[in-house]
Amino acid sequence: MEKIKIGLFGFGVVGQGIYRVIQRAKNAHAEIVRVCVRDLSKPRSVEFGPELLTDNPDDILDNPDIDLIVEVIDNADASYSIVTRALSKGIPVVSGNKAMIARNLPELIDLQRRNNTALLYDASSCGSIPVIRNLEEYYDNDLLLEVKGILNGSSNYILSRVFDHNEPYDAALRRAQELGFAESDPSFDIEGFDSLFKLIIITVHALGVYVKPEDVFTYGISTIHDSDIRYAREKGVKIKLVAQVVKVSDEYFTMFVMPEFVFPSRYIYSVDDEYNGVVIRGECYDRQFMFGKGAGSLPTASSILSDIMARRHDYRYEYKKMSYLDRPAYTTDITLRVYVRYTVSNIPAILPFSHIHEQYISADSNYVIGDIKLSDLIRHRAALSAPDIFLADIPTFFTDRDD
């Protein structure tokens, strides 16, 4: 069998991981022939010949011997330019760049169709867990009700260290960076945007609907405080950063990213460290749970290798659900129960709760638990981003669920 010749963009944590797994996977019949990097002189932990690296993208994009491009750089604009150029030339691409994909998916789908080529990106969402291809192929029916889970390894790692090991937040974040889980700008991880981008991609493959990232309520963990952790411990729950897309009726679905109080009976309660966990709920099969490493060099590289192998067999996403007759529409007109901790901001005056269940006021911190429309959280997101506020979802929305 002829070896598939790969041009690789990016030789950081994931890029070097791909180099390693391709060397290890003899049956892949794949070979990295050129690697484009920003800095040729940067030290790297794998051994390679002097002709491998280039800093000129054209050496890959204009090379007629290259069959497939793998793109794992962490700059979304540069990634967009490489991927759109490659697809326009009919070159198939495997990418892990969730920000770029989530922001541009309609155009990227169109480019694949017009140029009769493929963009595969299972590695973009949940590292080693094959969530995209499963949603696309196995769950190709309209019985899917919900996809919910922990989609970001770094924030989960930080919360685990803080919650279970009493480590300081900043030290846990530094460690997530050292271990290569965090984005180069870790605010993407801790403010929930990395989870959001993955959720946008998942929603296209789960329900066949593209929602713009800016239309989705996203709240991260950066303002979590000892008092929140104390409160959660007292209640016997953990705080996890959870992303979810949920059908709320036959006609509508909703989606959001928010810290959540997770009860011990839920599958995701035991998803710790850099692991991700995804619960898929459907009309006929109740729940299924996928668990695995969501970040890191080799787990992500293994997912890239799987896409490379799939492409050997001409696999492409068909986006079948986007042409379903009855696709649900996105709504934010749903009521959530949230915990909001605050010190200086006057949360009960700012947020239009329809019902307040619990309120606590003390010298150093206050909280309120109340019911509020998701659309109102979106309307007040600027106020909610104040550093003295932390917000978490209390999942009573579907009280009969056990995920």
| Residue 127 found at the interface with ligand HSE (CB under 6 A) | yes
153 binds ligand HSE (CB under 6 A): yes
Q: Nearer Cβ to ligand HSE, position 182 or 237?
A: 182
Q: Which of 26, 42, 98, 198 is catalytic?
A: 198
Strands 30-36 and 366-373: unpaired
Contact status: 297 vs ligand HSE (CB under 6 A):
no
- Nearest CB to ligand HSE, comparing residues 33 and 99: 99
CA distance 32 to 23: 9
Question: Which residue, among 229, 291, 219, 223, has the nearest Cα to 259 in the 3D structure?
Answer: 219
**Cβ atoms of 177 and 186 closer than 8 Å:** yes
148 as an active site residue: the answer is no
Q: Is 189 in the site for ligand HSE (CB under 6 A)?
A: yes
Decide if residue 218 touches ligand HSE (CB under 6 A).
no
Which listed residue (182, 262, 384, 391) binds ligand HSE by CB under 6 A?
182
Residue at 210: amino acid letter: Y
Contact between 260 and ligand HSE by CB under 6 A: the answer reads no
Q: Does 149 bind ligand HSE (CB under 6 A)?
A: no
Binding residue for ligand HSE, selected from 139, 181, 253, 342, defined by CB under 6 A:
181
Give the integer Cα–Cα distance in Å for 200 and 243: 10
Q: Partners of 277 in the beta sheet? A: 150, 291
> Parallel, antiparallel, or unpaired: how do β-strands 53-54 and 68-71 relate?
unpaired
**Which region among 180-188, 199-207, 246-254, 364-372 touches ligand HSE (by CB under 6 A)?**
180-188
- Range in contact with ligand HSE (rule: CB under 6 A) among 112-120, 178-186, 235-243, 333-341: 178-186
Q: Could you tell me if 191 and 177 are in contact, meaning their C-beta atoms sit under 8 angstroms apart?
A: no
13 contributes a contact to ligand HSE by CB under 6 A = no
Per the CB < 8 A criterion, the answer to whether 145 and 249 are in contact is: no
Per CB under 6 A, 194 contacts ligand HSE: yes
- The strand pairing partners of 238, in sequence order, are 262
**Is residue 154 a contact residue for ligand HSE (CB under 6 A)?**
yes
3-class state of residue 218 by DSSP: strand
- Is there a contact between 302 and 21 (Cβ–Cβ < 8 Å)? yes
For residue 365, give Cα distances in angstroms to 157, 343, 360: 26, 5, 8
- When asked if residue 302 is in the footprint of ligand HSE (CB under 6 A), the reply is no
206 is a contact residue toward ligand HSE (CB under 6 A) = no
Bridge partners of 275?
293
Rg (the chain; Cα; Å): 22
Cβ at position 195, least distance to ligand HSE in Å: 8
Q: How many residues bind ligand HSE (CB under 6 A)?
A: 11
Is residue 152 at the binding interface for ligand HSE, with CB under 6 A as the rule? Answer: yes
The interface region with ligand HSE, picked from 4-12, 58-66, 105-113, 150-158 by CB under 6 A, is 150-158
Alpha-carbon distance of 31 to 19, in angstroms, equals 9
Joined together, the tokens standing for residue 301 give 């590289």
Judged by beta carbon, residue 183 or residue 228, the one nearer ligand HSE is 183
Q: Does 243 bind ligand HSE (CB under 6 A)?
A: no
Q: Which residues of this chain interact with ligand HSE, rule CB under 6 A?
A: 127, 152-154, 181-183, 189, 194, 294-295
**Active centre residues (catalytic):** 198
